[in-house]
């Protein structure tokens, strides 16, 4: 059975905390019968958009193509792919789509650092430059959260604070870079080209180990945590933004006009992580990573990086380091030379010490998993999903910040998007590949 690569990390982290049990009177609803199954197999899906007439635009990022299905998912045509015969070229890297004004859609062009504007038929009508071109690459995956339009043509997305990597200077102390534990949510206006920060979200803290080399250079190695207190966010259909605060499991809201509000804490079964439990988490994570390294699989790297190949939450990328050669001292002399080329790049990511883990299991384990349906309800995948073995269970929170119900997906399904009248789109995975499915929440 083929496992959806975007959810392997989530399943792995859920397995680290098998004793978690969510106890709440909130009802758990099942999805109704599958209404439609795509006749076409798909790869890794990173973006599903239902149009006003019921047709469905699907970004098959795994196979680098954009597909437009009919309402029944029984027929489709290729909107964009990598061949020269296609009306729109997909590009050399997996990317994503962004819902724009009306039924128009943006296809993110990471190479050109721009956006292709597609009409409802999937044809490219124009190319728009990004207000901040350097941010485009981060939008290509969903690990940072899915970029979206706020209904006024403004783009909302999560950016990153990049550390400064300075070369060591011979004879002077070296200060290693610090990786920020927060990131800005940006609202960008295509008309004015202005971009402003509307909020900050907490991201996984990554430490940096520094090894000094005999020639005066340094090797910097990131150290990851399998559990971190992080935030997540999503854009609602009315253009407002919901931000989930992982420190206490509540939602902050930002309306499209800038009005801000916070709703009370959501029910969550907080479980303390003992010292022995922290050791067990690190041991389990290390064994799992070592097992992936032995397989030498590209799928393991994709799974660890999360949707679209971009980490952003409590994910553990493959091990890697950076070696920086020194520059000369104040006397103008060249730096000392050495045959030492630096240590071998680690195959397995380095993990933090158990004492660095939080004292409680975090409410969410990976960013980019929170979504909003067409009714303005926020779907959150909590860490305490006790029924994960029978299918992932989402907390459904209404616009007032109230947890109104929980919804369980069928076993082996991954949530991909929503449609009108309560439609839920998923991918199912079997021996013959993945297919898109449509169902609705039972009422």
Among 224, 223, 221, smallest CA distance to 165 is for 221
Contact criterion met (CB below 8 Å) for 273 and 359: yes
Predicted pLDDT of residue 433: 80
* Cα–Cα distance measured from residue 394 to residue 133, given in angstroms and rounded to the nearest whole number: 34
CA 196 to chain centroid: 22
Give the sign of the dihedral formed by CA 126, CA 127, CA 131, CA 136: positive
Q: What is the pLDDT of residues 314-342, one digit of tens each?
A: 455 555 778 888 887 655 555 555 444 44
Contact criterion met (CB below 8 Å) for 350 and 205: no
**Would you call 209 helix, strand, or coil by DSSP?**
strand
Q: What is the mean pLDDT of the chain?
A: 84
* Domain ranges across the chain: 5-440
Higher pLDDT, 153 or 332: 153
* Cα–Cα distance measured from residue 76 to residue 62, given in angstroms and rounded to the nearest whole number: 17
Among 421, 425, 426, smallest CA distance to 443 is for 421
Q: What is the pLDDT of residues 257-291, one digit of tens each?
A: 899 999 999 999 899 999 999 999 999 998 888 87
Q: Is the per-residue pLDDT at 438 higher than 90?
A: yes
Please give the backbone phi and psi of residue 71, each rounded to the nearest 5 degrees, phi first: -60, -35
Q: Is the per-residue pLDDT at 21 higher than 50?
A: no
Band (pLDDT 50/70/90 cuts) for residue 163 is confident
* Cα–Cα distance measured from residue 139 to residue 137, given in angstroms and rounded to the nearest whole number: 5
Predicted pLDDT of residue 323: 86
Q: Is the per-residue pLDDT at 188 higher than 90?
A: yes
Higher pLDDT, 26 or 361: 361
Q: What percent of the chain clears pLDDT 70, i.e. is strictly above it?
A: 82
* Cα–Cα distance measured from residue 273 to residue 288, given in angstroms and rounded to the nearest whole number: 20
Contact criterion met (CB below 8 Å) for 234 and 204: no
Q: What is the pLDDT of residues 231-250, one digit of tens each?
A: 999 999 999 999 999 999 99
Band (pLDDT 50/70/90 cuts) for residue 302 is very low
Which runs of E-coded beta strand occur in 255-397? 260-262, 322-324, 350-351, 371-372, 378-380, 393-397
Among 9-13, 215-219, 395-399, 414-418, which is the least confidently predicted range? 9-13
* Cα–Cα distance measured from residue 401 to residue 282, given in angstroms and rounded to the nearest whole number: 34
- Domain 5-440 CATH assignment equals 3.90.420.10: no
């Amino acid at each position: 059975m083929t496992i959806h690569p975007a959810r392997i990390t989530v399943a792995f982290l859920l397995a680290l905390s098998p004793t978690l049990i969510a106890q709440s009177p909130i009802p758990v609803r099942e999805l109704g019968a599958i209404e439609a199954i795509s006749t076409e197999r798909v790869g890794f899906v990173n973006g599903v958009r239902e149009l006003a007439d019921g047709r469905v635009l699907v970004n098959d990022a795994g196979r680098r193509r954009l597909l437009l299905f009919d309402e029944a998912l029984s027929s489709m045509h290729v909107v964009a792919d990598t061949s020269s015969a296609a009306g729109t070229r997909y590009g050399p890297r997996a990317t994503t789509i962004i819902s724009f004004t009306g039924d128009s859609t943006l296809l993110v062009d990471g190479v050109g650092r721009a956006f292709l504007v597609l009409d409802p038929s999937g044809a490219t009508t124009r190319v728009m430059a990004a207000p901040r071109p350097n941010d485009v690459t981060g939008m290509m995956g969903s690990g940072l959260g899915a970029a979206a339009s706020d209904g006024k043509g403004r783009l909302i997305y999560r950016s990153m604070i990049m550390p400064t990597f300075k070369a060591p200077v011979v004879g002077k102390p070296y200060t290693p870079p610090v990786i920020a534990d927060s990131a800005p949510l940006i609202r960008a206006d295509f008309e004015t080209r202005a971009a402003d920060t509307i909020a900050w979200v907490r991201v996984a803290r990554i430490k940096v180990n520094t090894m000094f080399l005999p020639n005066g250079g340094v090797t910097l190695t990131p150290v990851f945590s399998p559990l971190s207190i992080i935030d997540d966010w999503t854009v609602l259909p009315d253009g407002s933004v919901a931000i989930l605060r992982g420190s206490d499991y509540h939602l902050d809201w930002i309306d499209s006009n800038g009005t801000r509000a916070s709703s009370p804490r959501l029910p969550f079964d907080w479980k303390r992580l003992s010292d022995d439990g922290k050791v067990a988490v690190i041991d389990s994570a290390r064994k799992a990573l070592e097992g992936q390294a032995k397989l030498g699989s590209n799928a393991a790297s994709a799974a660890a990086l999360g949707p679209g190949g971009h980490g952003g939450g409590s994910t553990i990328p493959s091990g890697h380091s950076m070696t920086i050669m020194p520059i000369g001292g104040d006397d103008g002399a060249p730096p000392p030379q050495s045959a030492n080329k630096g240590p071998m790049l680690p195959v397995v990511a380095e993990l933090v010490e158990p004492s660095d883990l939080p004292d409680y299991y975090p409410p969410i384990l990976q960013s980019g998993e929170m979504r909003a349906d067409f009714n303005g309800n926020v779907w959150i995948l909590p860490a305490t999903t006790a029924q994960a073995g029978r299918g992932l269970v989402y907390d459904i929170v209404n616009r007032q910040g109230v947890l109104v119900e929980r919804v369980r997906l069928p076993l082996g399904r991954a949530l991909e998007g929503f449609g009108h009248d309560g439609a839920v789109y998923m991918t199912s995975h079997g021996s013959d590949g993945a297919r898109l499915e449509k169902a609705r929440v039972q009422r």
